[in-house]
Amino acid sequence: MKRALFLFLLVAASIPSAAQFPAVPDSVYAFIKRNNIFRNSINWQQTDADFHACIRSSKTLNDTMNCFVNVLKQLNDVHSSFMINGRYYGHYNPLEDSVYKRIKPTRERAEAVTGMFYSTVLEKKYGYLVVPAISAWGNEEINRYAQALHDTVCRLSSHTLGGFIIDLRLNSGGNMYPMLAGLSSFLGNTAIGYETDIDNNVVRKWQIRNNDFFSNDYQATSIKAACHTDNSQLPVVILTGPVTGSSGSMTAIAFKQRPRTYFIGEPTADGYTTSNGFFQYPPNLSINLASYFVADRKMNVYRRTVDPDLLMYTTDNFGQLMSDEKIKAAIAWLSK
């Protein structure tokens, strides 16, 4: 009996500490395999073998999580992520040193101005509006940001303007609901986008209804109209860049196919145009999974990036707007 107990303890001690993972790894893996929007892009037979070999060799929880990160790497999925015990895990494609150096100031500025809207009038006739990332969770916070952006647009629209420049270069993501609701006067009371499955079937329709954003019939915002300005027919230039991603990309897509709209800048961050779902496993594990693609109002699907009409790789100059080449190009287009 003592010998049997010793053998049991020995076997138990040899079980990899992947057992610290608060769910059955195969179950979570099967969920990703079944629901990730990029699932048709890889050889699952090889990925299955790699994943199970990785799990068998895992000795720590960190090892186990890296097995899941390797799956995201195979899928080239940079938008999905895991959070366990307060720590994030995800796959991110490295940037070349020259690219990182070039965009680093924009990334740092984007972090610094999160949630801070900025507007001004350029050359006395063009409205300029910066819509940065918005980190808002919960109805109260979402509505607070949506209202603040709406009010900013109202103040800017009180001037007699010939067009607008909406700058999304500092918008790395967050929550798209306040972005789209706050910009509703530009988008119009209409369908502005769709979420589609892997076979291009529509699963959700995005709409603006009287200043508020709806996903199908779910009302995501509740704005008190500070003005009733209709900017939906005015010309708009959208500025994008490599920091524009996630909800920033969603906002850009909402303006695609809008009449009298022109895109200037660089493609948005690669791989951040998916619609993600949030899935909670045991209390300490959550998955933010890329589940659907996003399409514009004419059903053009954006699988990796949102590309500009005029491609410009010039240096951003947020400190001196009239020295920024993209802004100068935007004014040139608006003045035609």
228-269 per-position pLDDT tens digit: 999 999 999 999 999 999 999 999 999 999 999 999 999 999
Under a CB-based contact definition with an 8 Å cutoff, are residues 242 and 307 in contact? Answer: no
Q: Which helix (H) or strand (E) holds 264?
A: strand 261-265
In the predicted structure, residue 8 carries a pLDDT above the cut 60: no
Nearest CA among 93, 63, 95 for reference residue 75: 93
Work out the pLDDT band at 22, boundaries 50, 70, 90: confident
pLDDT tens digits for range 197-233: 999 999 999 999 999 999 999 999 999 999 999 999 9
Q: How high is the pLDDT of residue 98?
A: 86
The predicted pLDDT at position 18 comes to 57
pLDDT at residue 14 tops 50: no
Structure token digits, residue 130: 């910066």
Domain 98-270+305-334 bears CATH identifier 3.90.226.10:
yes
Q: Which residue would you say has higher pLDDT here, 309 or 6?
A: 309
Residue span(s) of the chain under CATH 3.90.226.10 come to: 98-270+305-334
Dist. CA 47–CA 45, nearest whole Å:
6
> Beta strands 163-167 and 236-240: pairing type?
parallel
Q: What is the pLDDT of residue 11?
A: 35
Query: What's the pLDDT at 95?
Result: 83
* Length reported for the chain: 336
Condensed to tens digits (0 to 9), the pLDDT of residues 135-144 reads: 998 999 999 9
Q: What is the pLDDT of residue 29?
A: 97
pLDDT at 306 over 50: yes
- How confident is the prediction for the chain on average, in pLDDT? 93
pLDDT in tens, 145-201: 999 999 999 999 999 999 999 999 999 999 999 999 999 999 999 999 999 999 999
In this model, does residue 16 exceed pLDDT 70? no
| Of 9-13, 216-220, 330-334, the least confident | 9-13
